């Protein structure tokens, strides 16, 4: 494998670096606690940041130009993630739109749907959420029960979704619904593009371990959804689900690779400066081994993502191998965040807002938040099943 970049790709990197140096808004330490679900100021700040990235021509690096993207390759897209992390730039707010809904629309959407939504996803005018999970349907999405009844020009949707991230301030939702009760469970599902301002929709935030209300319950009571908002064919939504999940793992894989390296470097800096019970933390042999493991983890994640990238550059769609970096990242991030709290000794017990909390409780927040990494985007058990069955070709578990 050739790890070098072409002169054009290096030119892209240089241009982006110049732009980021001039435009990344604040010192990294002030950007750490942005909580758009809790603070109107943070939400506005992040919306304005995404708009700035879009106006600068950097949103949707690998998306087609006709829909507002830059029309570059996935290599430039990866360089974008790398430089954003290196410059400690805030993440883009519309993450589900950018990584899941937009790429799925590019593959399955009608021309009208693409024109209507893709540029607004890039600019952040439309914040998207993903309405897949239900109270009794998560890993086994085929069992979902939210109904959509066909009324000719429109559907009437009734049911409930849960764990819907971003819905409390979102504008649109990629919604999975059952449109055929008589078909086998993986058939008879459809995918709708739903305006969250439609009458009959109510959103109730759920509070998580961190104290944030990052995700929500979303209720649909006789919600009218125009037929033009059907994505793909009626009853053929399973194909859309697979496309979306593959894009989710692939897109976030790039992002996590470099964000994780950034976390590691921040922690290394911290370890070098920290004292615990009067001795330098770096003197602790076990801790040095854990830091070495964290470095190895970051390198492995990067190489697995490079491997996935090579496949994509050969023209293959994202496939089940995207589960490898998802699983690796979930487990390594949990280890890294735990280590960051461990090195603080007794201070590790102090949380955001408490006096004497180190770095304002930044690592404690990360530690609690990381517990969700092995659930969100498909649990680690499910990723292991996918790797076993669909990457390694082992017999089905059941």
Ligand X SMILES: Cc1cc2nc3c(=O)[nH]c(=O)nc-3n(C[C@H](O)[C@H](O)[C@H](O)COP(=O)(O)OP(=O)(O)OC[C@H]3O[C@@H](n4cnc5c(N)ncnc54)[C@H](O)[C@@H]3O)c2cc1C
Catalytic annotation, pick one of 41, 248, 342, 376:
248
Token pair, residue 260, equals 């994780």
CA 5 to mean position of chain CA atoms: 26
Token pair, residue 255, equals 């992002």
Is there binding between residue 203 and ligand X (CB under 6 A)?
no
Min dist. Cβ of residue 165 to ligand X (A)? 3
Query: How far are the Cα atoms of 96, 165, 297, 356, 381 from residue 376, in angstroms, in the given order?
Result: 12, 10, 20, 32, 12
Is there binding between residue 163 and ligand X (CB under 6 A)?
yes
Nearer to ligand X by C-beta: 140 or 299?
140
Window 208-247: contact mask with ligand X (x via CB under 6 A): -------x--------------------------------
Residue 78 and residue 112 in contact, taking contact as beta carbons nearer than 8 Å: no
Residue 248 annotated in active site: yes
> Coil, strand or helix: which one is 105?
helix
Nearer to ligand X by C-beta: 61 or 196?
196
Considering only the stretches 34-42, 283-291, 292-300, 375-383, report the one whose residues sit in contact with ligand X under the rule CB under 6 A: 375-383
Is there binding between residue 389 and ligand X (CB under 6 A)?
no
Is there binding between residue 388 and ligand X (CB under 6 A)?
no
Nearer to ligand X by C-beta: 73 or 385?
385
Nearer to ligand X by C-beta: 180 or 379?
379
Short-list 146, 333, 371, CA closest to 237: 146
Considering only the stretches 73-81, 110-118, 124-132, 188-196, report the one whose residues sit in contact with ligand X under the rule CB under 6 A: 124-132
Token pair, residue 219, equals 């209720």
Q: How many residues bind ligand X (CB under 6 A)?
A: 19
Which residues ranging from 76 to 115 are in contact with ligand X (CB under 6 A)? Answer: none
Residue 352 and residue 364 in contact, taking contact as beta carbons nearer than 8 Å: yes
Instruction: Concatenate the DSSP letters of all residues of 118-166 into one string.
Output: HHHHHHTSS-EEEE--BTTBSS-GGG---EEEE-SSEEEEEEEE-S-TT
CA 26 to mean position of chain CA atoms: 23
Ramachandran region, residue 345 (left: φ > 0; alpha: ψ -120 to 50; beta: rest) = left
Among 268, 372, 387, 391, binds ligand X (CB under 6 A): 372
Catalytic residues: 248
Residues that bind ligand X (CB under 6 A): 129-133, 138-139, 163-165, 215, 372, 375-376, 378-379, 381-382, 385
């Amino acid at each position: 494998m050739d790890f070098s970049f072409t002169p054009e790709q290096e030119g892209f990197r240089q241009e982006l670096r110049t732009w980021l140096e001039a435009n990344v808004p604040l010192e990294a330490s002030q950007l750490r606690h942005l909580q758009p679900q809790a603070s109107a100021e943070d939400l506005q700040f992040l919306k304005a940041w995404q708009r700035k990235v879009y106006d600068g021509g950097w949103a949707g690096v690998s998306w087609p130009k006709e829909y507002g993207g830059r029309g570059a390759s996935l290599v430039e897209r990866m360089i974008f993630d790398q430089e954003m992390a290196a410059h400690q730039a805030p993440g883009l707010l519309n993450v589900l739109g950018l990584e899941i809904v937009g790429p799925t629309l590019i593959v399955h959407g009608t021309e009208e749907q693409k024109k209507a939504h893709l540029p607004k996803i890039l600019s952040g005018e439309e914040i998207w959420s993903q309405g897949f999970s239900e109270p009794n349907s998560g890993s086994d999405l085929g069992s979902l029960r939210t109904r959509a009844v066909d009324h000719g020009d429109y559907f009437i949707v009734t049911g409930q979704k849960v764990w819907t991230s971003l819905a409390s301030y979102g504008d649109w939702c990629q919604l999975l619904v059952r449109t055929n009760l008589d078909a086998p469970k993986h058939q008879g599902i459809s995918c709708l593009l739903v305006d969250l301002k439609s009458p009959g929709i109510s959103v109730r935030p759920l509070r998580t371990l961190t104290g944030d209300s990052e995700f929500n319950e979303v209720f649909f009571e006789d919600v009218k959804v125009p037929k033009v908002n059907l994505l793909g064919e009626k009853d053929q939504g399973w194909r859309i689900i697979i496309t979306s999940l593959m894009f989710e793992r692939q897109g976030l894989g790039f992002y996590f690779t470099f964000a994780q390296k950034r976390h590691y470097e921040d922690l290394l800096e911290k370890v070098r400066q920290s004292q615990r019970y009067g001795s330098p933390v770096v003197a602790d042999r076990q801790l040095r081994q854990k830091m070495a493991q964290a470095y190895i983890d970051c390198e492995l994640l990067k190489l697995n993502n490079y491997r996935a990238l090579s496949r994509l550059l050969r023209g293959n769609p994202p496939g089940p191998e995207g589960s490898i970096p998802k699983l690796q990242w979930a487990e390594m991030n949990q280890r890294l965040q735990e280590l960051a709290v461990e090195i603080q000794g007794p201070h590790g017990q102090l949380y955001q807002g408490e006096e004497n909390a180190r770095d304002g409780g930044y690592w404690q927040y990360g530690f609690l938040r990381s517990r969700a990494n092995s659930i969100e985007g498909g649990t680690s058990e499910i990723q292991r099943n996918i790797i076993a069955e669909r990457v390694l070709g082992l017999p089905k578990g059941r």
